[in-house]
Amino acid sequence: MNEHYARIIEAIGEDPQRHGLRDTPERAAKAMEYLTRGYRQSVEEVVNGALFPSDCSEMVLVKDIELYSLCEHHLLPFIGKAHVAYIPDGKVLGLSKVARIVDMYARRLQIQEQLTVQIAETLRQVTGAAGVGVIIEAKHMCMMMRGVEKQNSVMKTSAMLGAFRSNQATRNEFLSLIR
Ligand SMILES: [Zn+2]
């Protein structure tokens, strides 16, 4: 990757040998590796057995999970928050694991719609929940820094599975809790 970043720096008309840029290809490669570390993680590894039996059948909500991802169309960041809720059916997941599942998928090349669905489906598979709701609100640098330059637009996506899809009251409870 270092080599490729050096070529990109040349291609934009800069000198990769000049002092300030000399170590940039290596730093950029390391940064990119970090930003895409989700490819080197698996659900099993992230969950790491943190599933616990529970009689709880009330909604579990983790809101305002910080989210940093890269759009797969421009390789530019999109940054925002994820709100994740589920209704347990015999098993609950350690709370930090919800955030780690979000992070695992966010640290890949993504589109926001797909990221939202992947988080919801994984949580459902892992916990066997009666329902899962995921909402992501994010600002996209590819819209803010280039193209239409819409500085303040926030993109909102949602994925509702099981009870969150079939039951209006459940969905409303989720939406009012994150408001
Ligand atoms: Zn983009």
Same domain, 24 and 104: no
Q: How many angstroms does the Cα of residue 158 sit away from the middle of ligand 1?
A: 18
Within-domain flag for 45: no
Determine what percent of the chain is predicted with pLDDT higher than 70: 98
pLDDT (average), residues 10-25: 97
pLDDT given at position 118: 98
Same domain, 60 and 25: no
Task: Look at residue 65 and tell me whether its pLDDT is greater than 80.
Answer: yes
DSSP 91: E
Residue 74 annotated in ligand binding: yes
Q: How many angstroms does the Cα of residue 117 sit away from the middle of ligand 1?
A: 18
Q: How many angstroms does the Cα of residue 112 sit away from the middle of ligand 1?
A: 10
Q: Which residues are registered as beta bridge partners of 110?
A: 71
pLDDT given at position 146: 84
pLDDT given at position 179: 87
Within-domain flag for 164: yes
Q: How many angstroms does the Cα of residue 76 sit away from the middle of ligand 1?
A: 6
pLDDT given at position 42: 97
Q: Which helix (H) or strand (E) holds 37?
A: none
Residue 19 annotated in ligand binding: no
Same domain, 21 and 80: no
Range of the structural domain that residue 124 is part of: 50-178
Cβ atoms of residues 74 and 142 within 8 Å: yes
Same domain, 132 and 167: yes
Cβ atoms within 10 Å of 121's Cβ, excluding its own: 14
Within-domain flag for 95: yes
Q: How many angstroms does the Cα of residue 179 sit away from the middle of ligand 1?
A: 27
Residue 56 annotated in ligand binding: no
pLDDT given at position 152: 79
Q: How many angstroms does the Cα of residue 83 sit away from the middle of ligand 1?
A: 22
Residue 101: what are its φ and ψ, rounded to 5°?
Answer: -65, -45
Same domain, 118 and 158: yes
How is residue 154 written in tokens?
Answer: 């926030």
Task: Look at residue 115 and tell me whether its pLDDT is greater than 90.
Answer: yes
Within-domain flag for 56: yes
Domain count, the chain: 2
pLDDT (average), residues 31-60: 95
Within-domain flag for 42: no
Nearest-CA neighbor of 144 among 70, 76, 75, 69?
Answer: 76
Tokens 């390789």 locate to 75
How is residue 48 written in tokens?
Answer: 């790491």
Identify the three-state secondary structure at position 135: strand
What are the residue numbers of the active site? 71-74, 112, 140, 142
Determine what percent of the chain is predicted with pLDDT higher than 90: 92
Within-domain flag for 44: no
pLDDT (average), residues 47-67: 94
Same domain, 30 and 59: no
pLDDT confidence of 98, banded at 50, 70, 90? Answer: very high
pLDDT (average), residues 82-91: 97
Report pLDDT digits (tens) over 116-156.
Answer: 999 999 999 999 999 999 999 999 999 988 877 667 789 99
The mean predicted confidence, pLDDT, of the chain is 95
Same domain, 60 and 125: yes
pLDDT given at position 126: 96
pLDDT (average), residues 43-55: 94
Task: Look at residue 16 and tell me whether its pLDDT is greater than 80.
Answer: yes
